[in-house]
Amino acid sequence: MAANDRKFIVFIGPPGSGKGTQAQIIRERLGLPQVATGDLFRYNLKNNTELGLLAKQYMDAGELVPNEVTIRMVEERLSREDCAKGAILDGFPRNLKQAVALDKMLAPYGGVTVAPLFEVDDDVVVERISGRRICRQCGAVYHVKFNPPKRDSICDVCGGELYQRDDDRPETVKTRLFVYYKQTAPIIGYYFCRGILEDINAMQPMEDVTRALLDVLAKYGIR
């Protein structure tokens, strides 16, 4: 495959805007892996690695994990075999330094292909995050009201136990939103200037968001 046939999709949006949900829906269909930095940190924490323990302090506070370790982790992840056709980046980059680092990593492959921006109002974010439940085993995302599992607190996909993330408490959510507007929002302009930013109305029902997303991706040859 020619190097620039690789497709790198960067999901931008506040916490709770539905990035992970949509990545899980479209990844198989597109044949691209979901690279979610938050999931990678949680996986490290579960396995008690040094990186996991370091990340936990920042995650619990709702702050960003330092760039150096985050960037190194993504670089390693993108070098794996399953990213040979590209990837869906969910939660990275989260500030301008990370965006510049990503450009460097992807320079041999033609850079970021498209950056869908998940637009939702703050009150919706709060409602979504407060009802979010995650499978401890496979990471599938649910919502007690908007996307409930068939059996209470049990994952439809793997039968694992569902839990609420520590950082999904209301106090931490406030900080995370603040961090999003202050540190992450500047990358919107960064991709807009390149003509690859695509607004997605993420307030719609999940299926409608998926449709809007797939339409946008098709314009970039991703299908």
Residues marked as catalytic: 19, 94, 132, 165, 176
Which one of residues 17, 34, 44, 113 is an interface residue with ligand ADP (CB under 6 A)?
Answer: 17
77 interacts with ligand ADP by CB under 6 A? no
Locate the DSSP E strands across the chain. 7-11, 34-36, 86-90, 115-119, 132-135, 141-143, 162-163, 197-201
User: What amino acid occupies position 84?
Assistant: A
Q: Which of 111, 100, 132 is nearest to 20 (CA)?
A: 132
Choose the contact partner of 140 out of Zn ion, ligand ADP, none; CB within 5 to 8 A by kind.
Zn ion
Which one of residues 12, 34, 77, 92 is an interface residue with ligand ADP (CB under 6 A)?
Answer: 92
Which one of residues 162, 177, 209, 222 is an interface residue with ligand ADP (CB under 6 A)?
Answer: 209
Residue 92 token pair: 């990275």
Q: Which is nearer to ligand ADP, 2 or 171 (CB)?
A: 171
| H-helix or E-strand spanning residue 221 | none
Choose the contact partner of 220 out of ligand ADP, Zn ion, none; CB within 5 to 8 A by kind.
none
Helix (H, G, I), strand (E, B) or coil at 7: strand
Choose the contact partner of 53 out of ligand ADP, Zn ion, none; CB within 5 to 8 A by kind.
none
